[in-house]
Structure 1
Amino acid sequence: MLVDLDDIDEFLDGDPKSQAPRLIFSGGTPAWSSEEGDHWDDESTKSVNGVEARRFLTKLRYDAPRVEHGILSFHTLVEDGLRNFRSHETDDHVIRFDEDAWEERAEQSGFITDNLLSMDIQTGYLLDYLDARNAALVLAYFQSRSLRESTIEVDIDDDGWTELEVDGFPAKKLSRYVDGLDERYPHIELHCFYAILPSSANRSAEEEASQNRQIPFRTIRGDSYSPDDVENQRGFEDAGLKRPAHGAQSLEEAMSFYDWVFFE
C-alpha cells in the first residue's frame, strides 16, 4: 500500500499483530473515466493508527494482480503480456510477472488461487515514482506456520506474543502450542510492517540513465569514446572500424575490422 511520507512514522507505530492480516486490497472494479482510463480501482483505503493508505497492488482471486495505475502513467508503461509492462520511451522491462506460472496454477487447481507467485519491479522506476508521490510503499507481512502429525520433535518457546524488529521495522511474533484433536502441536505467526522509502539520487532510474549516457569506453587500440561519439556509428567510422562485406578470414583480420570494446 502507499502511505504519505508525512504520515509514515505514525502509520508504522500501529500494531502489526492486529493490522497485517486485514491490510489486503482485494476485488476492485473498473473505475473508468475518459480522463483517467481504466485503472481497476474502487478507490478504497485502509487505515492504521488513523492514517489512510491507498492500494499499490490489488489481489484478485480470478484475475492476475493489478498494480496501481499511477506508476503505469507516470513512467508511460505499456502492457506487454499479462501484467508485464515495458517503458514506452526506453523499452525497459519495468514490471515483470510470470504469466506462465499464473496460468499453470489455474490449470492445476481449476481456478486462480489467491497466491501472487511473484512480481518484480525495477528498483529505480519504483523509487522515482514514490519520490514523485512523496509516499512510501508499505508491505504488511503475515506468516503462519503450524506443525502437525510430524515424525520429528520440534521445540518452540511457548511465550505467546513478543515484540521485535525486522530490519528496523515493527513486528510481532506469536509462539505457542495448540491443543488439537489428537495432539498438541507448535504454531508460530509473524506479523510485520516494512516500508520502502523514495529514491536516493544514486538509485533512481533517471539518475542511472543519466550516468549510463556518460560511461566512456575504449578499444583495444586505446581509442576512447563516449556513447554520444558512436551514435549512428560515427565514432567507429572515424576510427576506421567498418564491417567487412563478406566477413573476416582470420582473428587478426577481424580485430583489424572490429577492434574490441572495453567499458571503463
Structure 2
Amino acid sequence: MELPPYLATMPMHAITEMHGEAGLRERFRLESETFDADDRRRLDEALDLAARLHRDDRRSREPYLNHLLRVAIRMMHHYQVRDIDVIVAGLLHDAVEDHPAELAADPPAGDPLAADPTAAALAVLADRFGPRVARLVAAVTNPPWDPDRDRHQQYHEHVAASLEREPWARVIKVSDFTDNGVGVIHSVGPKVESSARKYRPLVPVYRDLVTRADTPLSAPVKQHILEQLDLAEERFSAILDEPAHQP
C-alpha cells in the first residue's frame, strides 16, 4: 500500500481510519528516525514483541496493536519524549497484564516465578529490555480484580497509588488514557458508555498528576495534555449526562 507523504502530520485517528495498522507503523517509523541505530533497534524489538503478543487481540473495530502504536507515537510526537525506556514501556504497557504466561514462556518447575505469571513476565521484560522498562510496565499493570470490590473503584485506586511513585509511568498512562478517553468516540456499541463510566472519574486524578512539578514534561506539553483532558471530559459528559429539558 502506498502511503501519503503527509502521514507525519496527520492526526493519529485519521491515520487509523484511512490507513490502519500499516499507516500507524509507518508513522511510528517516521517518528523513530530521530533516534540513533541502537535506540531504533530497541524500539523495533519492542514493537515486534508487542505485535506477537497481541496478534489475536482486537479493540472495537481494529487490531489492538493500533492502540499501542498510538500510545507510543503520542509520547514521541506530542509529549516530546526522547527517553527510549519510556517509549518501549509504552509499546509493552499491556503485555504483562494481558499475556503474562505467553510472555513468561513457562518458567521451569520449581522456579519460584512459576507460581506467579506476572512476576515471571516482568522478569522477562527486565532481562530483554532492562529493569527500568519492567518497573514502568509494572506501574501501569492492573492487579488481579478482587471480586469483593467494585472493579472501577479498584482500578481508580490502583492508578492513583502506582503513579504517585513513578513520574515517568504517569506519562505512559496519560497517553493511554488519552487514547481511551478522547478516543472514546471511536468505540462502538456498549463499550462507548462503559468506557466513559470507567474513565471519567480519572480526569481529576490525571489533572493533578500532570501538573505536578516532578512530572517530567515541559510546560507546553502539560498544557496540551490538560486541553486533551478537557476534551475527554466533554465527550464523557455528552455520553453520560442527561440533556437539559427545554422549557
TM-score w.r.t. length of structure 2: 0.24
When you count helix as a share of all residues, which structure comes out higher?
A: 2
TM-score w.r.t. length of structure 1: 0.23
Max Rg structure = 1
